[in-house]
Each structure stands twice: as structure tokens, then as C-alpha cells.
Amino acid sequence: MRCIAAGLACAFVASCAQAPAAPNPAQPAAAMEANRRAESYLRRGDLDSAALHYREALRVSQSLEDAEGIAANAINLSVVYQRQGKFEEARASLAPVLERATLNHAPARRAQAALRRAVLDLEERRHAGAAEWAERAASWCGRPCALTAAIQNLQGQLALEAGRHDAATAAARSALAASRATGDRAEAANALRLLGTAAVAAGDGASALAPLREALAIDRDLGMPRKIHLDLIGLGRASALRGERDLARAYYERAHVVSVADRDAAGAAEARALIDALGSTAGSR
């Protein structure tokens, strides 16, 4: 089952990566306008234009020593670069908040940036680095910490990658409790997805179904196509484990449709590969 966990690693990381940071209303008008345009392009899937405008918002913020604007736009730019597969650029964009910070940034922003670094390292399977940055995020965030659930989800994924299914499940349950306590439905869905993924990796397709279905319902309500794709892929894997190949194929085909509509080429390719791997439907249940 180790191969299943590895196959879902990058997808899970995409799901637990933070949403773009909210801009500070006190930012200069030029930075706010660049940020607004970047968000618009990001929603449309135009990542090149989104990166261009986040870079401009970051430049304006740096020219005015606006610490909050620098942090928000550096984090946002990192999110876009990650989606483009530009991991070195994604790391470098965080430097003004982390390694090369010349201003005092709020601990919450430093924690956000550290969590982003952990996410990037996890996606590139740099597990030691991911663990280190997750620890830094937790230490900077303090208590109470709005990022607790996200940090626990990432630590659970690290446990899953190491084949420690029980530890991954425990982390996911803690993240689920933390996210429900704060009303963070997006992070709750990530925790539920991790629970399902851990069950699939352990070979227990039956136990994976309920949390993955709940995650799917939340992600639909929140309008998150990339996460809907992940939920459907997870449900397909769980069904395949149960010998239900026709049902698995149906989930994969739905995931493919979602990814194509969302202009997610990597997600569409993943779903197509899983469909092809099922082969003929002859003899399936």
C-alpha cells in the first residue's frame, strides 16, 4: 500500500496548501490594485498573469517597507509558483519573510510562510525539511494558533509518507477536532481526506469511504474544484481496493471531468492514468 500513499502525496499537498493570504486593506492603492488583479487572474486559472501582478504588489510593498503587504504578497506569490511547478521560485518568494527578512513580521505571518515552506518541501519529498519548517510554523504561531489544524494535517501526511498509518490517522483526527473547533471547514475537509487516504494506504477501503464522502460534500459547498478532484480520486482508490472496479472507474471519470473543466492538466492526466490502469471492464463488479 506504500505506493498508494506516494501516489497521493503531491495531490494531498496541493489540498493542504494555504489559500492566498488576505491582503491588508491599509496597503497602498497600487499594491491593492495589483493584488486585486492577481486574485482575478488566479480565479481564472491564468497563473502567469497572477504571478506577474503578485510580483508587482510585492515590489510596491517592499518600496514602502510595508511589512504586512510584503508578507501577504510573498505568500501569495509562493502559492502561484507552486501551482506552476516552480518550486525554487516558490521558496525564493518567501525569503523576504524568512531567511532575508529586513523588517519585523508578525509571528502569524512568519508561521504562514514557514508552513508554506513545509508544504513545498513535502511536495518535493524533502521530508526532513518539511518537518523542520512545520516545527518552526508551530513555534511562531503560538497559542491559540489559527494554523494548528493545517500544521497537524501536514505532520500527518509526513507520517503517512513514512508508512506510519496510525500516526497519520491520529494527526488527522487532531486536525479535524481543531478545525471543527474554529469552524474552518476547508481544513476539516483536508483532515477528512487525510483520514481516508491513510485508510486506503493501510488497505482498508471500507473505512476510507465515509471521511472521503464527507470531504467531498464540504469541498462542493466551498466550491473547490482541485479538492473535489482529490476526493473523487480517493473514493476511486477506496472502491478499487474493495474490488468495485466499475465504481472506481466512475469516480475517476468524474475526477477527470472536474480537472479538465478546472484547467488542471496534471489532475486530468492523473485521472486518465488511473482509468487506463483499470483496463477492461470485463469481469468487474
Q: Are residues 171 and 214 in the same domain?
A: no
d(CA 8, CA 163) in angstroms, rounded, equals 13
CATH at 141: 1.25.40.10
pLDDT at 263: 85
Give pLDDT tens digits for 163-173: 999 999 999 99
Torsion angle, alpha carbons of 36, 37, 39, 43, to 10: 140
Query: Is there a single domain that holds both residue 46 and residue 74?
Result: yes
Q: How many residues does the chain have?
A: 285
Are 116 and 27 members of one domain? yes
Range of the domain at 230: 204-280
How high does pLDDT run on average in the chain?
89
Number of independent structural domains in the chain: 2
Q: How many CB atoms lie within 10 A of CB 203?
A: 12
For residues 217 and 107, membership in a common domain is answered with no
Measured CA to CA, the distance from residue 219 to residue 211 in angstroms comes to 12
Contact assessment for residue 130 and residue 154, using Cβ atoms and an 8 Å cutoff: yes
**Virtual CA dihedral for 96, 100, 105, 106, nearest 10 degrees?**
100
pLDDT score at 32: 87
Q: Are residues 99 and 226 in the same domain?
A: no
107 and 136 both lie in a single domain:
yes
Task: Look at residue 190 and tell me if it is in a domain.
Answer: no
Please give the pLDDT value at position 285.
Answer: 43
Do 175 and 250 lie in a common domain? no
Residues 166 and 248 in one domain: no
- Residue 20's φ and ψ, nearest 5 degrees, are -50, 140
250 plus 144 within the same structural domain: no
266 within domain boundaries:
yes
Residues 96 and 209 in one domain: no
192 belongs to a structural domain:
no
- Positions in the chain whose pLDDT score sits under 50: 1-17, 282-285
256-264 long-range Cβ contacts below 8 angstroms, 24+ apart: 258/225, 258/228, 258/229, 258/232, 259/225, 259/229, 261/225, 262/45, 262/225, 262/226, 262/229, 263/45, 264/225, 264/226, 264/229
Indicate whether 194 belongs to any domain. Answer: no
Residue 210, pLDDT score: 98
Q: Is 109 a member of any domain?
A: yes
Q: How far is CA 27 from CA 18, 19, 59, 72, 113, in A?
A: 21, 19, 12, 10, 19
